[in-house]
Amino acid sequence: MGNSRWHWAEPGPDGGLRGWDGSPSPSGGEPPPLAWAAVGRLPDPLPYPPERRVCLADVPLSGCPAWLGVDRALAGWGAWQEMGESVLVVDAGTVLSLTRVDAGGTFRGGRLLAGLGLQLEAMATGTALLPNLLREPELATTGPGGKEEDPAWPEGTGAAMRQGVEAGLSAAVIQAAREAASRWVVLTGGDGQVLHQRVATELEPLGLAVAHRPLLCLESLANLRPAH
């Protein structure tokens, strides 16, 4: 259960997981999940068995402070398990979280900043003239007169907003990766794909490996599901 959406997964035909996103409520009639975790508000009444909930204490990532979100712990532990060495995990969700895990599987801090949608929403609600791209996403791709935009330096306000936020988030990730002393950068979250190419283009020539794992938290949740 995320802050703005719920994320689901089930076994896929290839032996991995098939995932999808939905509104913040159960669809109704589905069987209870084998495991679930939450960083957003819990519904009342709680729709799922509490004994199947995975909490921070259930994630075997050492060094986690009590305030750490279970999503960051799941992503950090899962990336470290897969890569087998130190890693910087970039979870591009409502909040862009950067989480460092050292080679021994210990949490080593991180950084938090407003994610793509949150920044766009803040610009729209905090100003008189900027559009709300969450309601009118087509404004991010077309300029004055409906012409196609220059992706690097758009003329239209909506496209400039989108380009500016994407570039800023990517720059934050790139700078953090240069400072983190980890060979691996693993992106996940709803906007992970948006940032992946920008980040990889800058970091891979420096010898850093960049991977996109959209179901990272769900894969970790599946691996840690309670035995019921």
pLDDT in tens, 23-62: 877 666 678 889 999 997 888 888 899 999 999 999 999 9
pLDDT exceeds 60 at position 64: yes
CATH of the domain at 96: 3.30.420.40
The Cα 60–Cα 74 span in angstroms is: 9
Q: Is residue 66 one of the residues assigned to a domain?
A: yes
Contact 94, 6 (CB under 8 A): no
Indicate the pLDDT class of residue 91, thresholds 50, 70 and 90: very high
**pLDDT tens-digit series, residues 134-175:** 998 888 887 666 667 677 898 889 999 999 999 999 999 999
Please state, in angstroms and rounded to a whole number, the distance separating the CA atoms of residues 59 and 37: 11
Q: Quick check: 104 pLDDT over 80?
A: yes
Q: Which 3 state secondary structure label does DSSP give 92?
A: strand
Q: Give the DSSP H or E segment for 73.
A: helix 70-83
150 part of the active site = no
Percentage, residues of the chain above pLDDT 90: 73
What would the pLDDT profile of 165-201 be if each residue is shown by its tens digit?
999 999 999 999 999 989 999 999 999 999 999 999 9
- The whole-number pLDDT of residue 41 equals 83
Name the residue type at position 165: V
Is 137 part of a structural domain of the chain? no
Let me know if residue 176 belongs to a domain.
Answer: yes
Domain interval for residue 109: 61-116+163-223
Per-residue pLDDT for 8 more than 70?
yes
Q: How many domains does the chain have?
A: 1
pLDDT of residue 228: 53
Mean per-residue pLDDT of the chain: 92
For residues 138 and 120, the answer to whether their CB atoms sit within 8 Å is no
pLDDT of 67 > 60? The answer is yes
Residue 15 has a pLDDT of: 83
Interatomic CA distance for residues 51 and 202, integer angstroms: 44
pLDDT at 143: 65
Please tell me which residue in 71, 91, 150, 191 is annotated as part of the active site.
Answer: 71
Give 227's pLDDT tier (boundaries 50, 70, 90): low
In the prediction, which pLDDT does 36 show? 95
Domain-located, residue 209: yes
Instruction: Tell me what percent of the residues of the chain surpass a pLDDT of 70.
Output: 94
Question: What is the pLDDT at residue 145?
Answer: 66
C-alpha pair distances (Å), 190 with each of 2, 9, 39, 96, 125:
11, 14, 15, 10, 22
Q: Does residue 79 fall inside a structural domain?
A: yes
